[in-house]
Amino acid sequence: MREVAIVGAKTTEFGELWEKSLRDIVVEAGVGAIEDAGISGEDIDMMYVGNMSGGKFIEQEHLGALIADYSGLAKGLNVPSTRVEAACASGGLALRQAIQAVASGYSNVAIAAGAEKMTDIDGSGVTDALAAAADREWEGIQGATFPGIYAMIAKLHMAQYGTTSEQLAAVAVKNHENGMNNPIAQFKSKLTIEQVLKSIMVSDPLHILDCSPVSDGAAAVIVVPADEAHKYTDTPIYIKASAQASDTIALHDRRDITTLDASVAAGKRAYEMAGLTPKDINFVEVHDCFTIAEICAIEDLGFFEKGKGGPASLAGETALNAKISVNPSGGLKSTGHPVGATGVKQAVEAVHQLRGEAGKRQVNGAKYGMTHNVGGSGATAVVHIFSNER
């Protein structure tokens, strides 16, 4: 197995991109990543596209070929292109596929993209499309929406560990604080705990401001063998670990409803692969689709003891350059959550942080960064560890 590095990275603006189609944003991200790597389309020999629900959001499947086509990689070059789907973890998985392809020697220059165009259907349609990431037959049919499912995690977390609505709100406030310094972020606005608590209730105890928004956006990275990385850039970012784990599709079948065992397992595998512990990690981009999800994530990935994620968040221990910088990008909450794009966007953020290019949201002395991308309510988790040192 060869070591692997990222030599190009780009995220489009995230938000309600009314004037742009899925094709537009993927091409923008892809071309950006190619330019960042200083390569040309001819160099690419493999393409992976993370996308959750083109079929529901824009009534378009077969996105691998479509995107290869619009990227100029299909006609003539005939680059193999594969769409990868694992609900909201689709992007993280696309990256993992590219890493595996390069590590195995099947590919020398792979592009991993993630993209979602969510605003072409109405809110009810989005809620329904996202509900397909849970068990449609045995959760969705009872009216379990995604906020509803995470709300049940939150309610039990509160009952078991005393987690409070203020602690949940603190996650959103901190992520907005970081997102204000991220040019691609959907919401670059300051938020207060009171604003979160006074926002409308979606699914008790989750208010609308506890939820990540509906977004359009795309991101892409270029993956090459580590030995060849310096051909392309002076600042390659090395993949120290790529790990993935599965759990039951339905929340009710989990071993423990407030622990995402898939996150725990993927985290453990990643630490082992990289030979690192949580203490070594300088920043982590976690999958905060809801505020409770960030609290579970920082516990499940070993940064805080189970049940201590809430108080730690309220105490500011997860703020930029505090005990552990959690979601320096602003996370899904502030940056936006175009579901299929998120996992790749997290990797792009890691690249920027580890290159020292993150500006006002720069994590000081960042050497090891982690990304954590979750599908559904925790049925899939993908964890990557990146470093600027080989």
Nearer to other proteins, 134 or 223 (CB): 134
> Is the CB of residue 221 less than 8 Å from the CB of residue 95?
yes
Strand partners of residue 66: none
Measure the CA–CA gap between 196 and 208, rounded to whole angstroms.
8
Closest CB to other proteins among residues 199, 235? 199
211 is catalytic: no
- Nearest approach in angstroms of CB 210 to other proteins is 12
User: Which of residues 89 and 134 has its CB atom nearest to other proteins in the complex?
Assistant: 134
Q: How far is the CB of 135 from other proteins (least distance, A)?
A: 8
Closest CB to other proteins among 155 and 176?
155
* Cβ nearer to other proteins, comparing 127 with 235: 127
Burial of 76 (0-12, 13-18, 19+ CB in 10 A): exposed
Residues 307, 304: Cα–Cα separation, whole Å: 8
Angle at 146 between CA 199 and CA 54, to 5 degrees: 115
Nearest distance from residue 142's CB to other proteins, in Å? 5
Q: Smallest gap, in angstroms, from Cβ of residue 6 to other proteins?
A: 37
Q: Which residues bind other proteins (CB under 8 A)?
A: 124-125, 127-128, 131, 135, 137-139, 141-145, 147-149, 151-156, 159, 200-206, 208, 250-253, 257
**Cα atoms in the Cβ-side hemisphere of radius 13 Å centred on 332:** 28
Kindly write down the DSSP assignment for every residue of 264-290, as one continuous string.
Answer: HHHHHHHHHHHT--GGG-SEEE---SB
Alpha helices by DSSP H, 199-338? 229-232, 261-274, 291-300, 309-314, 331-335
- 370, 191 in Cβ contact below 8 A? no
Closest distance between other proteins and the C-beta of residue 56, in Å?
Answer: 12
Given 88, 211, 289, 296, the catalytic residue: 88
As measured in angstroms, the least distance from the Cβ of 125 to other proteins is 8
Q: Rounded to whole angstroms, what are the CA distances from 385 to 77, 291, 313?
A: 32, 22, 22
The residue (of 82 and 127) whose beta carbon lies closer to other proteins is 127
207 is catalytic: no
Burial class (CB in 10 A: 0-12, 13-18, 19+), 199: middle
Q: Is the peptide bond between 205 and the residue preceding it cis, with omega within 30 degrees of 0? A: yes
CA pair distance 281, 46, nearest whole angstrom: 30
What is the rounded distance in angstroms from the CA atom of residue 23 to the CA atom of residue 294?
31
Catalytic residue among 157, 176, 207, 337: 337
Closest CA to 197 of 215, 180, 172: 172
Q: Which is nearer to other proteins, 77 or 201 (CB)?
A: 201
Query: Closest approach of Cβ 248 to other proteins, in Å?
Result: 8
Structure tokens at 152: 């049940």
34-to-11, 54, 71, 82, 367 alpha-carbon distances in Å: 12, 24, 11, 18, 24
Return the active site residues: 88, 337
